[in-house]
Structure 1
């Protein structure tokens, strides 16, 4: 039982933690300057809430509703604001490498699952026995659905392969912990991206040009906002969020009524309400970027969007219970091995085509983390790049069920 169960208290703790990280990261003291040279601030915003969960036991991310609130309300609001000054031409100029790395990430997950089962079944065959005679590969199919698409794809795999509730609950833990550990590495990598890009021998000119163009535009219109402008930014953010939820409430039930047709073409994810919230919020932001409302970027639209993103980061982090890793070491060994194969395939492809590390990180997270965390990782490189993460994550939704089905079949072939 956590010490604090009131979400108002939990939210206060999370914001205090995030504020402390930003305060110390901007401190002129030599200790903090040296400390943040090695530990990126966004990584602390992610892992410190996890420590509040365990071992401190102050909060429980699973019992709290804050992640739901942040992902359903603050995430779409941040997407609207971060897309408000989007440079469509600059994103198109990024070229095909972003798509190639996204597809490499998908292939890495599809092949990583069966390869992980082969390796672990050879080293420790007992891991594949969960004690009730149920085949582990069926449970792992739900992880594949989550890592390529998202929650809707994960639920689809559960139904398709008739995964028991007990095994499904265990696989959710494997999914969340392994994905969060990898997200932590990506957030750290964002802080040393120049070193990684030098090793990959990648051409980052298109990314640098996009960041420079957005930052110069922001600087050219920057001003101290008055109360009216602040409220206009909030109206844009949460008006867009309201529109996204309304559209989702209309579209998702219509598609659910046609689930038989969607299942025929493996498009069940299109009936996900969260999918449409993300798509509509992004569309609203991109649409407004062509209007006079774009000028509110100068009053701090993307800065407020970043505030929402960091609160989301903290709520994602608090859901990671590190203790559960030790309770499921065998299955986690499969998950970690799976993730390693995913990483190896991505690094090899990035090395061959000399893709920037940004494409590696966002392509991976668009698969593994989906729309909730892909813009977070993209923002770690630059807030100007957040829309790239969103667009790739939406593509992940579309491919999720197809990739997971292929992965599941391969895992069934190699399972003892």
Structure 2
């Protein structure tokens, strides 16, 4: 049994690294439906269930210190590629589709929680808020909300389960609809010429202004991210605290603002920010999972059903908006998957339409990162009032 904090952290990072290595080297289809970060969570949870480590003072101190300091740093880094000027360049139709997507997801969570709350634990709204952050942005946003709202570590098992199972079904559905794009566009009377032009322009400019990943870039990114974390926590300590806006909540929001601003400076062109952010994300997910166990997942089917209801509300809203605003299937699908799947899957759906449209999927997913944390916290506040 592990009792030392450093050994505890080392084993978590080793497991995360091994899973990632397995995912990239084998290219097994299992990882299409069970992302590495989800596999990490459940493997570490299994280890915690069997008591591989003990919650000693050293382990608890490592958990609190590493998680609390890495969280704002990760948020800062994952936003560095989200240049708002490029995102605005996507045009009003794409941004309208994204706005409808994010809003309908939030509404879906509120409606679903109201319908299911009689069968859910009292603090289930926190798990729903964390998942709403993920489905508006990405796993990093989910981790940010987990820290901001102090979502119980066991409840995060439900969140990741919904995120994995329901997300996989949604990706399959959106990919299956690609051959019907022409018929859908005729039904909505949409014009795709502007989308094609934007895709061609972004594809031509892709990577032109980005520096290569090297030692200098990585050291600088780690240093500036940790400095942003320290700055966020310092200013968070000066902000008024309430039961909802805790010090961690303020730190997360301040780090988000710093990341959005930094993305519009030359710092946003430094390659490697996504890679370093993902290392931090794996560490944070491992830490969260280390405090959970399988005994708390007895209500898994109920949560999965709730996730499907959220997607049903979202899907109906997207179809209605497409008809009302004459949106094409590509815009609706990319907007949806940019929210629900993030940067890992939105480009895949874009490529199913055309290789030229991949950069649009990336930029839309980055917009999800920008709004995911704030959107999830807003949904959480509404759910807490219910």
TM-score by length of 1: 0.64
Offset, 1:24: 2.4
- Asked whether the equivalents of residues 218 and 276 of structure 2 are also in contact (C-alpha less than 8 Å), the reply is no
CA displacement 1:85-122 (0-9 Å, x = unmatched): 3221333334123332333223223222343367x6xx
| Alpha-carbon distance between aligned partners in 2 of 1:344 and 1:239, rounded to the nearest angstrom | 42
Question: What's 1:347 paired with?
Answer: 315
1:225 to 2:206 alignment:
no
Aligned to 1:161: none
Displacement of 1:247 in angstroms is: 1.1
Q: How many pairs were matched up? A: 333
Q: Comparing 234-243 with 177-186, which one deviates more in the overlay?
A: 177-186
Query: Which of the numbers 220, 225, 231 marks the counterpart of 1:243?
Result: 231
- In 1, Cα distance between equivalents of 2:104 and 2:21: 38
Q: What are structure 2's unaligned runs of at least 5 residues?
A: 131-144, 186-191, 323-328, 348-361
In the alignment, does 2:256 pair up with 1:282? yes
Choose 87-96 or 230-239, whichever is displaced more.
87-96
Q: Deviations over 1:105-140 (max 9, x none)?
A: 23223222343367x6xxxxxxxxxxxxxxx7xx53
- 2:171 and 2:336 map into 1 onto residues whose CA distance is 14
Structure 1 window deviating more from structure 2 (58-67 vs 100-109): it is 58-67
**Residues 191-210 of structure 1 aligned to structure 2 (within 5 Å):** 195=175, 198=178
- Which residue of 1 is the match for residue 36 of structure 2? 41
8 A contact 1:145–1:153 mirrored in 2: no
Q: Distance in 1 between the 2:200 and 2:78 partners?
A: 13
Counterpart residue number, 1:58:
52
Which of 179, 182, 193 is equivalent to 2:159? 179
| Change beyond 3 A, Cα 1:73–1:403 | same
Q: CA deviation at 1:217?
A: 4.7
Map 1:302-321 onto structure 2 (within 5 A): 302-321=274-293
Aligned-residue RMSD, C-alpha:
4.2
Structure 1: stretches of 5+ with no match in the other structure: 121-135, 156-170, 260-267, 365-376, 409-416
Query: What secondary structure is seen at the aligned counterpart in 2 of 1:84?
Result: coil
Change in CA separation of 1:23 and 1:147 when aligned onto 2, cut-off 3 Å = closer
Q: Which residue of 2 aligns with 1:8?
A: 6
Q: Counterpart of 1:18? A: 16
Residue 189 of structure 2 is matched in structure 1 by none
Distance (whole Å) between structure 1 residues aligned to residue 308 and residue 24 of structure 2: 34
1:38-83 CA distances to partner (integer Å, 9 max, x unpaired)?
65434323332223223x4424799856664454322321222232
- After TM superposition, the structure 1 stretch with the greater mean CA deviation from structure 2, 313-322 or 205-214, is 205-214
Instruction: Give CA-to-partner distance per residue, 1:236-279, whole Å, 9 cap, x none.
Output: 1111111111111111xxx23xx6xxxxxxxx63x322222122
Q: Deviations 1:271-315 (Å, cap 9, x if unpaired)?
A: 3222221221122222223333334x13x2332122212222333
Change (3 A) 1:108 1:187: closer
Retained in 2: the 8 A contact 1:82–1:301? yes
Which residue number corresponds to residue 391 of structure 1?
Answer: 371
CA contact (8 A) 2:72 2:255 kept: yes
- Distance change (3 Å), C-alpha of 1:196 and 1:215: farther
Q: Equivalents in 1 of 2:222, 2:100: separation in Å?
A: 36
